Chain A
C-alpha cells in the first residue's frame, strides 16, 4: 500500500513560499493498493493534482469523504476524472439524519456556488453512504465509524493483507474529557486506529491555542500523540495543519510536542508528496 498526501492543511488552503515545504492544499490523500486500486481520501484542494496524477489506463477511482465541510470537498469540482466519460467515480461519505449524501453534495456542486451540477458530470458517478459498516474496494477492506467532529463525520480504517492505515483528519476525541485519553472503550476513533501501521490524525492546534477552539472538532498535537499511544499505532502522521502555521512554526510546534511527550512510535508530520510505503 502506498500513501501519499496531496493536501495536508486544515480549514482553508494556505499556499505560498512560507508553507511550501509541508504544502498549502487542504485535505486529500492518495492510497494505492497492491492491485493498483486508487482511493482519494477527502477532496480538498489537493485532489486537483491527484486527479492529474493517476496512472494511465485507470478506469475507476473511489473518493472517500470523511465529512462535508468545505475544506474537504472544495476540490471535487476540479477533479478531472469526474469530467471523463471513460471513468467510473465512486464517492463515499456520510449522509445526515435528513439528507442523502447526494443532496448534501448538491448544495456545493450546483449554481450559484458551482457552474456544473453534480447530476451533469459526464463520468459514471455512483454515490454511497458510509456509516458504521465495512466494505471492500479491490484489495482494500475498509471500515468506517462516526467520530467526534461537528456534523456527520466518519473516520476510515483501510487494510490490505499486508498493511493497515487509519485516516482521522478531523477529530476531537478529547472533547469534554477531564483527562485524556480515557480508556479505549470511551475514546472516539479507537477501534479504527487500533494497532495500525500508519495513522493520519488531526493535529491542528498547540496546547496553548486549543482553549479558544474547544468544540471546533480538532485536536492538539499533544492529543494526537496521546491518542496514537493509546491505540498502539506504529507510525503517526500529524495532519490537518493549521493554515496560520508556516513551515518554521510547524517544525517548532511539532518538535516541542514530541520532546514533551517522548512517543515510542515514529512521528512524521504530513507533507504533500511524501509517500509512505506500507507492507
Chain B
C-alpha cells in the first residue's frame, strides 16, 4: 500500500482533533480514515477495520432522505464531491447506524483538490441535529 499524499495526511491529523465525526475517502470512495466521533456512527473502531470499501461503508452508514423534507440532492454527498468535484451539504438526512439507531444529521462533503488541481479524495463531516 502506497503512502498517502501530504494533504490527506494533514486532514487525518486535523480530524483527530475535532469533535464532529469526520470520514475521509480516497478517489474510489474507499474509506481510508475516520476519527473517534465517527467510530460511534459506524459502530466500529478504525483500528479494527482499517480501510473500508464503498459497499461495506454503505452497509455501515445508511443514509436516506428525511420524508418530511423534499430534497433535490438525490445522490450521496460524497459521491457528488468525488464525481463533480464540488461541495455539498445535505440537510435533514437520516443516518442509520449498523446498530439500527436512527439519527437526524446534516452532512457536509467536499472534495480534496491539490495545488495541481488533482482530486485526492473527499471529506464528509456529520452534524447531529
Q: Is the CB of B115 within 8 A of A152?
A: yes
Q: Is the CB of B3 within 8 A of A187?
A: yes
Report how far A184 CA is from B16 CA in the complex, Å.
17
Report how far A177 CA is from B14 CA in the complex, Å.
9
Which chain A residues (148-196) contact chain B, with CB distance < 8 Å? 148, 152, 175-178, 184-188, 190-191
Q: How many positions in chain B have a CB within 8 Å of any CB in the partner chain? A: 18
Q: Is A107 an interface residue (CB 8 A)?
A: no
Residues of B within 8 A of A175 (CB): 10, 13
A-B contact count (CB 8 A): 44
Q: Is A275 an interface residue (CB 8 A)?
A: no
- B28 to A: closest C-beta gap in Å: 15
Q: Is the CB of A146 within 8 A of B7?
A: yes
| CB contact under 8 A between A184 and B3, given known A148-B10, A176-B16, A178-B16 | yes
Residues of A within 8 A of B33 (CB): 186
Q: Is the CB of A131 within 8 A of B6?
A: no
Q: Which residue in B1, B6, B17, B116 is a CB contact (below 8 Å) of A185? A: B1
Q: Is the CB of B6 within 8 A of A176?
A: no
Q: Is A145 an interface residue (CB 8 A)?
A: yes
Q: Is the CB of B3 within 8 A of A132?
A: no
Report how far A185 CA is from B9 CA in the complex, Å.
9
Residues of B within 8 A of A191 (CB): 2-3
Q: Is B97 an interface residue (CB 8 A)?
A: no
Q: Is the CB of A186 within 8 A of B12?
A: yes
Which chain A residues (182-219) contact chain B, with CB distance < 8 Å? 184-188, 190-191
- A182 to B: closest C-beta gap in Å: 9
| CB contact under 8 A between A176 and B116, given known A147-B6, A190-B3 | no
Q: Is A113 an interface residue (CB 8 A)?
A: no
Residues of B within 8 A of A52 (CB): none
- B83 to A: closest C-beta gap in Å: 22
Q: Which residue in A132, A152, A178, A187 is a CB contact (below 8 Å) of B9? A: A187
Q: Which residue in B7, B9, B115, B116 is a CB contact (below 8 Å) of A186? A: B9
Residues of B within 8 A of A188 (CB): 6, 9
Which chain B residues (51-87) contact chain A, with CB distance < 8 Å? none
- Which residue on B lies nearest to A154, using beta carbons? B6
Chain A residues in the interface with B (C-beta under 8 A): 95-97, 131-132, 145-148, 152, 175-178, 184-188, 190-191
* 21 CB < 8 A contacts A-B: A95-B115, A96-B115, A97-B115, A131-B116, A132-B5, A132-B116, A145-B5, A145-B6, A146-B6, A146-B7, A146-B114, A148-B6, A152-B115, A176-B13, A176-B16, A177-B13, A185-B1, A185-B4, A187-B9, A191-B2, A191-B3
